[in-house]
Chain A
Amino acid sequence: GQQLNQSPQSMFIQEGEDVSMNCTSSSIFNTWLWYKQDPGEGPVLLIALYKAGELTSNGRLTAQFGITRKDSFLNISASIPSDVGIYFCAVLLSVHTGTASKLTFGTGTRLQVTL
């Protein structure tokens, strides 16, 4: 099945630092999403990307997927303690000849922020 590889697998950063994480695929996708999951909770949608090469922001978060449509990055500026969690990239796949769509998730990046 399709696999999305995220890097780094985990990272420790200090409060106030900027963070960058990546997601790569061997296939082309036209819709990329970034979710954050806190312990004991479901994934929360951070940013949805629908146009290759277009930078999209949500507060301190910025994301983009490349013109090859095989990779995406998420940047977090000036990290704060509540940024701690697992970040997943995801792509939308059509199933049943386009009448349904499923999310395929990446392997996740665990972010820990120290004071």
Chain B
Amino acid sequence: DAGVTQSPTHLIKTRGQQVTLRCSPISGHKSVSWYQQVLGQGPQFIFQYYEKEERGRGNFPDRFSARQFPNYSSELNVNALLLGDSALYLCASSLSLGGNQPQHFGDGTRLSIL
């Protein structure tokens, strides 16, 4: 069975541009979460979606937005890119929102801002 898939794998943008990252969860998983991982650090929570609704949001500016589609796939959108947005963006899926549902990660999208 396919795991969490993310696209694209790498992306280069310039300051001020906008970017959209995509994620397909594991089949049967209804919850998708997004994390940002800066080099040398652990992932930081950005959003969690379940049944197409935002259920949680981390400490990120409004330039970051996301949505979840009826097939449970998700997009993360970042506007007005800054140099500090350069990071690995990870998507994780889980069966539901429950605390005993482990999150499984994709391999991420490496975003570089010039």
Contact = CB atoms under 8 A, between A and B. Distances in A.
A71 B77 CA distance: 36
Nearest to B4: A42
B55 A105 contact: no
Nearest to B104: A45
Interface residues of B, number: 29
Contacts of A1: 59
B24 interface: no
Contacts, number: 72
Contact of B56 (A31, A44, A100, A107): A100
Nearest to B91: A42
B97 A101 contact: yes
Interface in B53-112: 55-59, 90, 92, 97-108
Nearest to A45: B102
Contacts of B101: 101
Interface of B: 4, 33, 35, 41-45, 48, 50, 55-59, 90, 92, 97-108
23 contacts: A1-B59, A30-B99, A40-B107, A42-B4, A43-B43, A43-B105, A45-B104, A48-B100, A88-B43, A90-B42, A92-B99, A96-B55, A96-B56, A99-B56, A99-B97, A100-B56, A100-B97, A102-B48, A102-B58, A103-B45, A103-B103, A105-B44, A107-B41
